[in-house]
């Protein structure tokens, strides 16, 4: 369908109106007014407004700290803007609209820009009486969207496109009218109200009336925290920006329930009419995060739902996308190419076409292109945040294919600098054993040629005295190969680190006891280690594991053992008691004590053996950029 933007000059537009007038036998004025009332013909597109208003090289464009580059219109931004325009069609009662939309972008690709900054500005320009709410993971994040949307509306370019739409009270409003209006207007860091000049028909401003007539109080744009939303506010359009800050938020059942309570108990009850709409802009951290629950709820309620996805690389549709009926036929990019190796495993031999070619433009040869750097992200982050196909956390935390194998019987394999890494029982009472799902695990590790080798382990549910006996027994076995045992000062670990009898027994076997808090203060563990969650600890070791730097034995050859590697078949014990190292790491659920002690051992060994700062270690592990400072 033709729109007003397809006519380069007013003369060509007028010539078209004259032809229509002649064919329909209507007056020129009647044809012009009818066309201008048709949203599909007259309304400026979102990306047209973005090109005009987001350009740091234009002093009349929006002034905002995040608008550092001109807006680049591409095929995928065009698709996204078309879908978002479908929300406006629904709000104004036009055909082919969408009442519920999910926009799924990779991180750093303009998700918040399109959904929470550009869209509210353009919609308020078209329809100044709208009441819009935007909610993110906290108040400060949402305030940024308010600030940037406001900078777009205040820009001269926006005023040229949408005359008569103003934030707050325009200086041209007569004083008496201003005094009456200012009581109803709101302009703060987390909200602004609109005043407008024009005639509203069919929910939109009649184009030829813009900038004329009486000033009126219009709609508003309010922001807030999704977990703790404000109550009692009416909305025509709700925008939900990504509510998660970290993996800790994503995997917290309490936090996700808090989000759901905020959505179902407060925000969804604020919708005013059947023409109200919702938009979610998010990155799929997991297959069962809050966004999936909301989309399922939308479909159960019978809404017209539209979901669009733009992975960072071209790829085939996933099974989940097919089951959910997500149509990605608009994505014509070249897809990933896979081949099957000798072990029957599918291996990617060619990456798909990138989403935003401009991001790969680099200023010099020393800079790594954006998408090339993303290829080396830990698999969990890359699949979730860039390929938009998150792996299931219960089966794909650390797949078995990641582990390298070694044969301890080989003559060139040397064992030295052995470290005992203890994840102690959760119990604090020295007479009690551990809780239901927590084991005491002491892994035996060494570092050889820059790689990490797991040699042996003790794993069980002992009481305090039994734990001392088992640790002394393990230290005696490895006497002469190592000199340190590291442990967290929690549960039985706190008691052990201050138990003079235990310290003396370990000393006789040649092992000194080091505590994680002590090593953290000395800079031999990352700052904040004791306050990190399990997920954050595991995240520090994902890169070396995926780089093939962590080895487990294929056989036992004294003193190395391998019985702990694989899960033991049914022998009357529960799965948690007989689960092997590989399966426990693959699940990433409970039990997960081996993962905890492994993270502790790898982080400590890397620093201790290299004799460098933790910043250098983090850079070497790939969890920090050396150019960060």
**Residue 559's Cα: distance from chain center in Å?**
44
Q: Is the peptide bond before 561 cis (omega within 30 degrees of 0)?
A: no
The residue extents of the domains of the chain are 71-293, 311-389, 400-628
> Tokens at residue 132, please?
């819009």
The token pair at 546 is 């995926």
pLDDT confidence bin for 524, thresholds 50/70/90 = confident
Asked whether 467 and 485 are in contact (CB, 8 A), the reply is no
Nearest Cα to Cα of residue 205 among 431, 37, 10, 398: 37
pLDDT of residue 119: 93
Residue 4 pLDDT:
57
Q: For 462-520, what is each residue's pLDDT tens digit?
A: 888 999 999 999 999 998 888 899 998 887 888 898 889 999 999 999 999 988 888 88
Tokens standing for 465? 């005295």
Higher pLDDT: 137 or 329? It is 329
Instruction: Return the SS3 of 347.
Output: strand
The CATH code that applies to domain 400-628 is: 3.30.420.10
Residue of 578, 576, 553 whose CA lies nearest to 568: 578
Q: Does domain 71-293 have CATH number 3.40.50?
A: yes
Please tell me the predicted confidence (pLDDT) of residue 101.
Answer: 94
Tens of pLDDT, residue by residue over 237-281, are: 999 988 888 877 887 888 888 888 888 888 888 776 678 899 999
Identify whether the C-beta of residue 130 lies closer than 8 Å to the C-beta of residue 250. no
DSSP summary character for residue 214:
-
Which pLDDT band, with edges at 50, 70 and 90, does 458 fall under? very high
- Separation between Cα atoms, residue 244 and residue 520, nearest integer Å: 28
Q: What is the pLDDT of residue 585?
A: 85
Residues 6+ apart with CB under 8 A from 88: 39, 43, 94, 97, 123, 126, 127
Question: What was the pLDDT predicted at 537?
Answer: 82
Give the contacts of 441 (CB within 8 A, at least 6 positions apart): 422, 423, 457, 458, 459, 593, 594, 596, 597
CA angle 377, 381, 383 (to 5 degrees): 100
The whole-angstrom distance between residue 351's C-alpha and the CA centroid of its chain comes to 22
H-state helical runs in 25-138 = 28-37, 39-42, 46-53, 75-91, 111-112, 119-126
* Per-residue pLDDT tens digits for 301-326: 888 899 999 999 999 988 778 877 88
336 contacts 352 by C-beta, under 8 angstroms: yes
The whole-number pLDDT of residue 151 equals 92
Percentage with pLDDT > 70 across the chain = 80
Determine which of 146-155, 298-307, 411-420, 550-559 has the lowest per-residue pLDDT on average.
411-420
CA distances from 577 to 364, 468, 478, 488, 584 (A): 54, 20, 24, 22, 11
Q: What is the pLDDT of residue 172?
A: 63
Strand order in the sheet with 440-448: 404-406, 550-553, 451-460, 440-448, 418-423, 482-487, 512-515
Say if 71-293 and 400-628 have the same CATH topology: no
pLDDT at 534 over 50: yes
pLDDT confidence band for 8 (50 / 70 / 90): low
Per-chain mean pLDDT for the chain: 80
Predicted local confidence at residue 1, as pLDDT: 46
What is the per-residue pLDDT across 355-407, written as a single tens digit (0 to 9) for each? Answer: 998 888 766 666 788 898 888 877 778 888 999 988 765 556 787 878 888 88
Sign of CA dihedral 588, 594, 596, 600: negative
Structure tokens at 480: 């002469």
């Amino acid at each position: 369908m033709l729109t007003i933007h397809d006519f380069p000059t007013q003369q060509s537009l007028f010539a078209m109106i004259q032809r229509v007038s002649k064919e329909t036998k209507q007056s020129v004025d009647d044809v012009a007014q009818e066309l201008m009332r048709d949203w599909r013909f007259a309304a400026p597109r979102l990306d047209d407004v973005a090109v005009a208003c987001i350009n740091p090289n234009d002093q009349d464009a929006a002034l905002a700290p995040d608008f550092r580059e001109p807006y680049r219109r591409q095929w995928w931004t065009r698709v996204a803007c078309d879908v978002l325009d479908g929300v406006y069609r629904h709000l104004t009662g036009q055909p082919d609209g969408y009442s519920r939309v999910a926009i799924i972008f990779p991180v750093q690709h303009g998700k918040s820009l399109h959904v929470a900054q550009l869209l509210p500005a353009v919609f308020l320009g078209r329809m100044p009486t709208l009441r819009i709410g935007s909610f993110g993971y906290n108040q400060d994040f949402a305030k940024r969207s308010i600030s940037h949307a406001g900078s777009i509306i205040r820009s001269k370019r926006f005023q040229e496109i949408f005359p008569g739409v103003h934030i707050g009270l325009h200086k041209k409003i007569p004083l008496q009218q201003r005094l009456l209006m200012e009581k109803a207007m709101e302009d703060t860091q987390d909200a602004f109200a609109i005043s407008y000049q024009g005639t509203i028909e069919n929910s939109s401003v009649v184009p030829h009336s813009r900038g004329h007539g009486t000033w009126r109080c219009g709609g508003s744009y309010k922001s807030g925290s999704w977990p703790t939303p404000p109550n009692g506010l009416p909305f025509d359009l709700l925008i939900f920006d990504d509510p998660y800050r970290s993996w800790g938020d994503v995997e917290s059942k309490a936090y996700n329930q808090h989000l759901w309570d905020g959505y179902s108990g407060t925000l969804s009850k604020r919708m005013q009419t059947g023409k109200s709409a919702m938009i979610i802009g998010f990155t799929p951290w997991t297959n069962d995060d809050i966004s999936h629950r909301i989309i399922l709820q939308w479909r159960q309620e019978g809404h017209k739902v539209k979901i669009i996805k733009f992975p960072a690389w071209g790829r085939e549709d996933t099974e989940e996308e097919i089951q959910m009926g997500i149509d990605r036929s608009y994505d014509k990019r070249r897809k990933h190419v896979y081949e099957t190796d000798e072990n029957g495993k599918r291996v990617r031999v060619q990456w798909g076409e990138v989403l935003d070619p401009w991001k790969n433009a680099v200023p010099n040869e020393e800079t790594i292109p954006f998408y090339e750097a993303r290829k080396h992200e830990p698999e969990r982050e890359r699949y979730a945040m860039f390929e938009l196909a998150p792996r299931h956390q219960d089966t794909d935390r650390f797949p078995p294919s990641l582990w390298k194998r070694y044969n301890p019987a080989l003559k060139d394999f040397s064992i030295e600098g052995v470290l005992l890494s203890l994840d102690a029982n959760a119990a604090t009472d020295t007479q009690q054993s551990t809780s239901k799902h927590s084991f005491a695990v002491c892994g035996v590790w060494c570092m050889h040629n820059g790689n990490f080798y797991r040699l042996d382990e003790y794993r069980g549910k002992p009481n305090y005295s039994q734990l001392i006996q088992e640790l002394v027994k393990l230290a005696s076995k490895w006497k002469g190969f190592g000199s340190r045992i590291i442990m967290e000062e929690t549960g039985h670990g706190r008691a052990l680190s201050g138990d003079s009898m235990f310290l003396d027994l370990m000393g006789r076997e040649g092992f000194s006891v080091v505590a994680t808090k002590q090593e953290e203060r000395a800079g031999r563990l990352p700052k904040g280690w004791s306050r990190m969650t399990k997920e954050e600890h595991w995240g520090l070791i994902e890169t070396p594991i995926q780089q093939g730097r962590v080895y487990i034995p294929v056989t036992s050859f004294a003193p190395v053992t391998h019985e702990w590697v694989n899960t033991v078949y049914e022998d009357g014990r529960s799965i948690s008691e007989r689960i092997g190292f590989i399966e426990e790491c693959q699940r990433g659920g409970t039990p997960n004590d081996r993962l905890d002690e492994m993270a502790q051992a790898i982080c400590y060994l890397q620093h201790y053996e290299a004799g460098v700062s933790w910043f250098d270690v983090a850079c070497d592990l790939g969890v920090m950029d050396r150019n960060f400072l």
